[in-house]
Amino acid sequence: MDTTPAIEDVLADLDHATELMLDGNCAPWQELLSHRDDVTLLGAYGGQVQGWPDVSARFDRTAKGYAGGGGTTVRENIASWIGSDLACVVDLERHHTRLDDNADPVTFVYRTTHVLRRENGAWKVVLRHADPLASFRGPDFAHAPAG
């Protein structure tokens, strides 16, 4: 009998973990991540990190930039592919929170891709890709000279 939680339940856990992240607490997100060497983060701030120690450290650093105060997130699903051992979910995430101790909250949108893998009876995020490119910016943006 398969006791792996349904993917819908895991996505609800991701939504909750993201809201806690917006309040500066990344521990629930870190629990949902694979702790294996191939876990990969292409974070919204750029760059890439791979492996549990580096991905975990990036989540710690990112969480410190959120000022707390009841952050919220709404996920709009674009596409999903769910297999027996792998799943891929593509969404737009709309976040509302305060940043860096600013009193005024901000709203921002990320395009996200999550690849999840079954590991020891649980779905774990093996890839998170997030970027702020939810609006079309065109070739001039994409082909700008590297700095």
C-beta of residue 108 within 8 angstroms of C-beta of residue 93: no
All structural domains of the chain:
7-134 (3.10.450.50)
Residue with tokens 């297999």: 83
Question: How far from 106 is each of 99, 101, 119, 120, CA to CA, in Å?
Answer: 8, 12, 36, 38
Once rounded to an integer, what is the mean pLDDT over residues 79-98? 94
Once rounded to an integer, what is the mean pLDDT over residues 65-79? 85
Residues with Cβ < 8 Å from 101, sequence gap 6 or more?
A: 67
Model confidence, pTM: 0.90
Once rounded to an integer, what is the mean pLDDT over residues 63-74? 81
User: Cα 9–39–44 angle (5° rounding)?
Assistant: 80
pLDDT above 80: residue 1? no
User: Cα 136–129–51 angle (5° rounding)?
Assistant: 155
